[in-house]
Amino acid sequence: MIRAGAALLVLALVGCAPGEDEAPPAYIALDCGQPFETLKARVTAQPLTAAPKDPAEPYRFYSSPDGRTSYLVTEPGAPGHPAIMMQEAKGGDVITTGCPYGDKAGYDELHAYLDGLKTWRRK
């Protein structure tokens, strides 16, 4: 399962909802009609910060400098691989979308897990 990286991803997004007079920078929307490798290259070519790689986790997380947009790119061994997911902070909420290129059940598991982190709070 996804651990600390995903929790930090969601916390960063929830804490950085745009103000009414601020326009968030534009990051690419996921185009699931593109092949996985093509979309992965487009995502990672953006000005994003990669989270430290955890050798026990088959995912890579990439976030915008303002924390409002983040992507998860699966690696071999991840549920639903290949898959790319995007989380955006909008109006105080975090919206999760994604492209399931691989196993649909594994992708659904990953999506549910990321969505479940939205309510996680540090005690």
Could you read off the pLDDT of 8-32 as tens digits, one per residue? 455 445 455 455 556 656 899 999 9
In 1-123, alpha helices (H): 4-14, 36-44, 104-116
Residue 93 has pLDDT above 70, yes or no: yes
Task: With respect to residue 38, please indicate whether it lies within any of the assigned structural domains.
Answer: yes
Residues 28 and 3: their CA atoms lie apart, in Å, by 26
Domain hosting residue 75, numbered range: 4-19+28-118
Residues 87 and 106: their CA atoms lie apart, in Å, by 18
| The residue to which tokens 């409002």 are assigned | 68
Task: With respect to residue 123, please indicate whether it lies within any of the assigned structural domains.
Answer: no
| Among the listed residues 24, 43, 45, the one whose alpha carbon sits nearest the alpha carbon of residue 32 | 43
Domain count, the chain: 1
47 by Cβ neighbours in 10 Å (0-12 / 13-18 / 19+) ranks as exposed
Q: Percent of the chain having pLDDT more than 90?
A: 60
pTM score, two decimals? 0.77
Return phi, psi of residue 122, to 5°.
Answer: -70, 135
pLDDT tens per residue across span 55-88: 989 999 999 999 899 999 999 999 999 999 999 9
